[in-house]
A and B are shown apart, each in its own frame.
Chain A
Amino acid sequence: MSTLSRQDVQRIAELARLELTSEELDLFTRQLGDILSYVEQIRALDTTGVEPTSQVMNRPVDRDDVPGATLTRSELLGNAPDAAPEAGLFKVPRVIG
Chain B
Amino acid sequence: MNAVTAVEQALARLTSAEPKLSAFNTVTAERALDRARALDAAPSGGLLHGIPVALKDNMCTAGVPTTASSKILSGFVPPYDATVVKRLEAAGAIIIGKTNLDEFAMGSSTENSALGSTKNPWDLTRTPGGSSGGSAAAVAARVVPIALGSDTGGSIRQPAALCGITGMKPTYGRVSRYGLLAFASSLDQIGPFTITAADAARVLQVIGGFDARDSTSAPEPLPDLAAALTGDVKGLRIGVPRAFVGEGVDAAVLAAFEAALRVFTARGATIVDIELPHAGYGIPIYYLICTAEASSNLARYDGVRYGHRARLQKDDTLQQMYERTRDEGFGPEVKRRIMLGTYVLSAGYYDAYYLKAQQVRTLVRRDYDRAFEAADVVATPTTPTPAFKLGEKTSDPVQMYLNDIFTVSANLTGLPSISVPCGFAPSGARGTGTGEPDAGSRLPIGFQLTGRPFDEATLLRAADAFQRDTTFHLEVPALAEASTSTTVMAHQPEGGPIV
Contact = CB atoms under 8 A, between A and B. Distances in A.
Contact of B319 (A1, A8, A17, A55): A17
B284 interface: yes
B339 A13 contact: yes
Contact of B321 (A9, A55, A92): A92
Contact of A93 (B76, B285, B317): B317
Interface in B313-341: 316-324, 326-327, 330, 332, 335-336, 338-340
B19 interface: no
B359 A47 contact: yes
Nearest to A15: B342
B335 A28 contact: yes
Contacts, number: 163
A87 interface: no
A18 B323 contact: yes
Nearest to A49: B359
A12 to B, nearest CB: 5
Given A43-B356, A71-B80, A90 B323 contact: no
Contact of A52 (B307, B361, B398): B361
A84 interface: no
B362 interface: yes
Given A38-B284, A56-B414, A18 B335 contact: yes
Contacts of B304: 80-81, 90, 92
B295 interface: yes
Nearest to B342: A16
Interface in A54-96: 54-57, 61, 63, 71, 75-76, 78-82, 90, 92-95
B277 to A, nearest CB: 10
A51 B451 CA distance: 23
Nearest to A47: B359
Given A17-B302, A57-B218, A92-B321, A28 B336 contact: yes
A26 interface: no
Contacts of B321: 92-93
B398 A38 contact: yes
B216 A57 contact: yes
Contacts of A45: 278, 281, 356, 360, 363
Contacts of B432: none
A41 interface: yes
B367 to A, nearest CB: 12
Contact of A19 (B307, B323, B353): B323
B287 A35 contact: yes
B352 A1 contact: yes
A31 interface: yes
Interface range for A = 35 or more
A31 B363 CA distance: 28
A47 B360 contact: yes
Contacts of A12: 339, 342-343, 346
A34 B281 contact: no
B121 interface: no
Contact of B363 (A47, A61, A75): A47
B397 A34 contact: yes
Contact of A28 (B284, B339, B357): B339
A79 B75 contact: yes
B359 A32 contact: no
B75 to A, nearest CB: 7
A80 B77 CA distance: 10
Interface of B: 75-77, 79-80, 172-173, 186, 212, 215-216, 218, 278, 281, 284-285, 287-288, 295, 299, 302-309, 312, 316-324, 326-327, 330, 332, 335-336, 338-340, 342-343, 346, 352-353, 355-363, 365, 396-398, 412-414
Interface of A: 1, 4, 8-9, 12-21, 24, 27-28, 31-32, 34-36, 38-39, 41-43, 45, 47, 50-57, 61, 63, 71, 75-76, 78-82, 90, 92-95
28 contacts: A14-B323, A16-B326, A16-B338, A17-B302, A17-B319, A19-B324, A27-B332, A35-B287, A35-B340, A35-B398, A39-B288, A41-B284, A42-B288, A47-B359, A47-B360, A53-B362, A54-B358, A57-B172, A57-B414, A61-B216, A76-B79, A79-B75, A79-B306, A80-B305, A81-B308, A81-B309, A92-B318, A93-B318
Given A39-B287, A42-B285, A92-B304, 20 more contacts: A13-B339, A15-B346, A17-B302, A18-B339, A31-B336, A32-B339, A34-B396, A34-B398, A35-B336, A41-B284, A42-B284, A43-B352, A50-B359, A52-B361, A53-B362, A54-B186, A54-B358, A81-B306, A90-B305, A92-B321
